[in-house]
A = this chain, B = another copy of it.
Amino acid sequence: MSTEPADNARPLRADAVRSRALLMSAARDVFAVRGTEASVAEIAQAAGLGKGTVFRHFAHKDDLVVAIVDEMVDDLVATTEQLLHADDPAEGLRGFMTAGIELQVHNQAFCDVAAGAAVRQHPVLRGKIARLESAVEALVDRARRAGAVRDDITGQDVMLLLTGVYQTAAPMLPESPEIWKRYLALTFDGLQPAAARPLPA
């Protein structure tokens, strides 16, 4: 529940609950379009709040970014766990990669964080990313057992490739919004057992 304050906090007063909801909603919209570089003043204005209020709810701008991105990673974890039951294990894995890349295509803030913005190191986000990674590990295990991916591929590889495939396509996306499908397909070909040549340690 990232829309809630820290676990040990007392209940919020009614006006604070309202401020917080307005803030989260504005932050979702503004970050999605303008990325993590959107200013706190910009978000405060979109929420109809003073910027002091933003810092009352989130001590640092990064904490706000984390709260928003955390929600998105939650969604991605849920999607991943559903894909674990896909009929075709290979399609399950491809479905995860498609979801992760489309998230980057449609949300600038997620894209910034995935690409390695400093917020990545935030403890809350690190924990959530670890949860995602274990879900992905299960997805990869299943695909591997079905012979759909080579033996030497790990869940971490697939996680890292999520950013890699998106960043490969990124410079061309304004002109060719679907170009990421090309690089996802190319990457997927490299994951096939048929393509396997020994990888360096």
| Chain B residues whose CB sits within 8 angstroms of the CB of A115 once the complex forms | 115, 167
| Chain B residues whose CB sits within 8 angstroms of the CB of A75 once the complex forms | none
| A51 on the B face (CB < 8 A) | no
| Cβ < 8 Å to B, chain A residues 148-201 | 153, 157, 160-161, 163-165, 167-172, 178, 181-183, 185-192, 194-197, 199-200
| Chain B residues whose CB sits within 8 angstroms of the CB of A169 once the complex forms | 160, 164
- Residues in A lying within 8 Å of B, measured CB to CB: 115-116, 120, 153, 157, 160-161, 163-165, 167-172, 178, 181-183, 185-192, 194-197, 199-200
Closest to A195 in B: B195
Beta-carbon contact of A197 and B183 below 8 Å: no
Question: Which of B171, B181, B189, B190 contacts A120, CB < 8 Å?
Answer: B171
Greatest chain B CB density within 10 A among A157, A168, A172, A187 is at A168
Question: Which of B160, B172, B197 contacts A189, CB < 8 Å?
Answer: B197
How far is B191's CA from A171's CA once the two chains are assembled, in angstroms? Answer: 20
Beta-carbon contact of A200 and B187 below 8 Å: no
Beta-carbon contact of A183 and B164 below 8 Å: yes
- Contacts A115-B115, A190-B190 known; A185 to B168 CB distance under 8 Å? no
Question: Which of B160, B183, B186, B197 contacts A171, CB < 8 Å?
Answer: B160
Greatest chain B CB density within 10 A among A183, A186, A188 is at A186
Ranked 4 nearest A-B pairs via Cβ: A190-B190, A164-B168, A195-B195, A167-B167
Beta-carbon contact of B171 and A116 below 8 Å: yes
Beta-carbon contact of A189 and B196 below 8 Å: yes
| Chain B residues whose CB sits within 8 angstroms of the CB of A192 once the complex forms | 195, 197
- Contacts A115-B115, A164-B165 known; A197 to B170 CB distance under 8 Å? no
A31 CB, min distance to chain B CBs, angstroms: 18
